[in-house]
Amino acid sequence: MRGTWNANTHYHAVVLAALPSGASRVLDVGCGDGMLSADLVDAGVRQVVGLDADQPVLDRARALHEGKGIQWVRGNVLEVAFGLESFDGVVCVAALHHMDARQALMRFAQLVRPGGTVAVVGLAAYSWLDVPLVGVAVVSKLALRLLYGRRRSSAPKRWPPL
């Protein structure tokens, strides 16, 4: 759909495909505006928990996806009292750089049930050797914006990533 594409939503299909068949409870860490949380519901996940530390962005997500049945939780994934092995999947798109990656990944692993999936799309630093690839990425991203339109997130930005 025009106007719903950005570099984060581009990876939602990859994240959805990584989840175990029949996943019924999934945690979306750093859910921002809730686009992935909504896609999870649309894909048939019965219980989706959208977690974000920013209350204003959660308020916008709740309003944007009213009626989807998503549970919105404000907090830090390292501190919120979720039960161990309580999710079929833990997903995180473009939010890992907002937290200590090592601690967060260990926490994700604790929260997912045996046989479940942790799916992370993150940002990475690059060196000067990567500049040609970055150039291709920038041109590709601009072309996709022209094709699909661009959806801007209202979530706070952290740049550069850690």
DSSP labels for 61-106?
Answer: HHHHTTTS-PEEEES-TTTS-PPTT-EEEEEEES-GGGS-HHHHHH
Confidence (pLDDT) at 128: 66
- Residue (of 92, 87, 93) closest to 116 by Cα position: 87
Mean pLDDT of 33-52: 96
Reply yes or no on whether the pLDDT at 151 is more than 60. no
59 CB neighbour count, 10 Å cutoff: 13
Q: Please write the tens of the pLDDT for every residue from 41-50.
A: 999 999 999 9
Q: Please write the tens of the pLDDT for every residue from 86-110.
A: 999 999 998 998 899 999 999 999 9
| Mean confidence (pLDDT) of the chain | 86
Measured distance CA(138)–CA(67) in Å, rounded: 36
